Structure 1
Amino acid sequence: MDDAPLASLSLTHVHYNPADRVSYLCAWLALVPQGLCVIYATLIWSNREIEIMLMFVGQMGCEALNWCLKRLIKEERPREMHGKGYGMPSSHAQFVTFFSVTLALFLLFRHVPHPTETHTPFSFFQRFVLSVLALLSAAAVAASRIYLNYHTSKQVLVGCLAGAVCAVVWFGFTTYLRRAGWVEWVLETELARLFRVRDLVIQEDLVDSGWARWVERRQKRQPSFQVQTKKAR
């Protein structure tokens, strides 16, 4: 009996022109959504922040909408395309647009970091710059889909529009959940307490998370450390 033919797991399988450096860069940009999922999982596991969990839920909802839209519209990809499935709208463009717009809305309208003795948070201007960089990065990923002939310009633009609309709607919904007290109610449940879910990132930078306690412990163990810290300032 002949062996069964092997199949390819095409999760990270990207076609590009090896003689074109831009094409090579675009191939790496195509892996950004997978990388963001790893970042989501890492932050949720390590920080247990409900804000990140809410963002991830919205991200998955945006992906589900893309799956439905593709099978509803049923528009084919470009003729030069090497991939499979329908092309309208671009899932890559929709994914990164949702992420970047949601991140920008959070940094500009919800994140109000408080300075501490050990950390000076980003100013509004710095957060604005980070938001612009996030949006430009999303635009680069979206453009890479056109360059690699995986999508038409229209498919990418519709994907960006769908991602942006999802981001704005989800941000508004989560704002309502916060103002209505639903987020606070979830945090008081036994399940949230069991998994140590918290809500600090609204007023505290992720960089500062735990840092103040670490510095305080070092100062207690090493009296000279406090003097060195003051001199460094």
Structure 2
Amino acid sequence: MEEDKPLASLSLTHVHYNPEDHLSFLSAWLALVPQALCVVYVTLVWATREVEVGLMFAGQLGCEALNFALKRIIKEERPKQMFGKGYGMPSSHAQFVSFFAVYMGLFLLSRHSPNLANDSLIFRIVASLGIALGSTAVAVSRIYLTYHTTRQVLAGCAVGVVFALAWFSFTGFLRSYGWVEWGLDHSVARLFRLRDLVVSEDLAEAGWQRWETKRKTRRSANGGRSSSKED
């Protein structure tokens, strides 16, 4: 009897596409971007313990919760030619990537100010535009794969942008009034070694400088021992 039971499909990664259409194949991969970004979020939160990354991830999850609620309030069906389940208004993919692009762009252009001689505003602008372009591709792919109508995707983008602006303002309020600093002084935050360096420091560059200093110290120590042996 167990063998007769039909199997279910995990719709989280199950994407319909036309295997003979290269753009459809690319769109299927673009559909996995939100899942990939969630993996990146969790990895960065665990590896860096940066409070800014945690705040952005919290906002991203809040945006997803809002999408979940809106779909069940509006109850608009997906396009008829789509075989998937669930409501389509607004597009969760479009809302997800819109939030990510807007919040990241605002962070790079107005909050992130690393004290580096080679820091370039142009580079941060280009990075923001690149993220926005990639997010647009993800949103358009939902229309191309007929998972959503153009109206559903545009609605998702609008909600994502508005929520990103609101959440960025809220996190700015927390910083301005010292709530972030207060939270970092809490015993729980100290237990998990939470920190707030990414706003004023390039983490890759800081890590590289510490690594270079450690290497130079080790080489100097090895050289000193070699000299003493020769004497």
TM-score normalized by structure 2?
0.93
Kindly state the Cα deviation for residue 122 of structure 1 after the two structures are TM-superposed: 3.4
Aligned to 1:18: 19
Aligned-residue sequence identity (percent) comes to: 61
Cα deviation, 1:60-94, whole Å, max 9, x if unaligned, reads 00000000000000000001112110000000000
Cα deviation, 1:190-209, whole Å, max 9, x if unaligned, reads 01100010000001113124
Cα deviation, 1:82-111, whole Å, max 9, x if unaligned, reads 211000000000000000100000000000
Aligned to 2:175: 178
Kindly provide the amino acid, as one letter, of the partner of residue 135 in structure 1.
A
Aligned to 1:44: 45
In the comparison of the two structures, how many residue pairs are matched? 221
Moved over 3 A (4+): none
Aligned to 1:84: 85
2: distance between equivalents of 1:114 and 1:175? Answer: 20
TM-score normalized by structure 1?
0.92
Kindly state the Cα deviation for residue 2 of structure 1 after the two structures are TM-superposed: 4.8
Distance change in 2, residues 1:91/1:187 (3 Å): same
Kindly provide the amino acid, as one letter, of the partner of residue 13 in structure 1.
H
Aligned to 1:29: 30
Kindly state the Cα deviation for residue 11 of structure 1 after the two structures are TM-superposed: 1.1
Q: Which has the larger radius of gyration?
A: 2
Structure 1 residue 125 and structure 2 residue 126: aligned?
A: no
2: distance between equivalents of 1:42 and 1:2? Answer: 38
2: distance between equivalents of 1:35 and 1:121? Answer: 30
Kindly state the Cα deviation for residue 213 of structure 1 after the two structures are TM-superposed: 1.4
Structure 1 residue 203 and structure 2 residue 204: aligned?
A: no
Kindly state the Cα deviation for residue 223 of structure 1 after the two structures are TM-superposed: 3.7
